[in-house]
Structure 1
């Protein structure tokens, strides 16, 4: 067998080992975090993070990498929320009240993206207190957005499902950050 064949086999085994390692890390971390936080759903945590890690080369193999990946996933979802809200604002079916709520939600999510950028920067500096404060600020975004619509009787939010996903991703990021703080 040629050297290049051995090299290819080595990289295949390395990739499989890293993928298995990452999957175990995700499963164990989600299990631990879900025991300590009633807002964190184990199945959602595993599914979200395994999907996200499958797009990373290499996937995270440490809790530190998992914290970073979870914040980046939350940020990606927040960016998607801004896009969804932008499209909804162009929809003529919404009355003025709903559009005002959507504009507020747009501003909330835009600010939240800034908070998440700050959280990433703070985490990279190992300023874990600031990272936690910024993640907590981002966590409130989805609830505040959802509450906008509840202020008018009979109004329903077109973002309920998306707000819930964003909330849960923030919960994961905060829970993993807390776990990292305990081990750091």
Structure 2
């Protein structure tokens, strides 16, 4: 009897876990032609949440991008306290750019959650514009560090480049959507 109960609990837990993560086949087939396919597969295969359609996968990619951008923003905020005078301006400008990216990515997610057949083209145009703007902000952030040398530049470049990679992959997955 105890073995039967254990098996039922194990089976239900396994089923719930399978529902809470994307199908590896969906992730791999969707990410194979992304700009950064390895990053795409890695970040979305470990994503915790129900994903069974390309639309849900695009939403998951945006959520990953938002999360990474928020982490970068927190890092930049903490960095402002320890940066030297020359670095502070670049860090402050970058933090502002990344905060704008977070807002644009959140707008994108809201739009993707509400896709309707009658307004699909308009909504997709909005989503693509906002994600493209987020990518531009991330690039602009890095441009501010061209005159900065050392650890701060290296660390910011590493973090923001990763945000740009997941955002680029999200843009790719959104571009693949062909109906609501």
Q: Counterpart in 2 of 1:45?
A: 40
Q: Counterpart in 1 of 2:100?
A: 111
Q: Counterpart in 1 of 2:132?
A: 136
Report the count of equivalent residues: 169
1:106 Cα deviation from its structure 2 partner: 0.8
The answer to whether residue 98 in structure 2 is matched with residue 98 in structure 1 is: no
Distance 1:135 1:4, change over 3 A: same
The answer to whether residue 114 in structure 2 is matched with residue 125 in structure 1 is: yes
Which aligned runs of 4 or more in structure 1 are off by greater than 3 angstroms? 1-10, 15-21
TM-score (norm 1): 0.81
> Which structure has more RCO (C-alpha within 8 Å, separation ≥ 6)?
2
1:14 Cα deviation from its structure 2 partner: 2.9
| C-alpha RMSD of matched pairs (Å) | 2.4
Aligned match for 2:163, one of 159, 162, 166: 166
Hey, what's the Cα distance between the residues in 2 that align with 1:21 and 1:137?
Answer: 27
Distance 1:16 1:105, change over 3 A: closer
Distance 1:136 1:155, change over 3 A: same
Extract unaligned runs of 5+ from structure 2. 116-122
Hey, what's the Cα distance between the residues in 1 that align with 2:168 and 2:159?
Answer: 14
1:29 Cα deviation from its structure 2 partner: 0.6
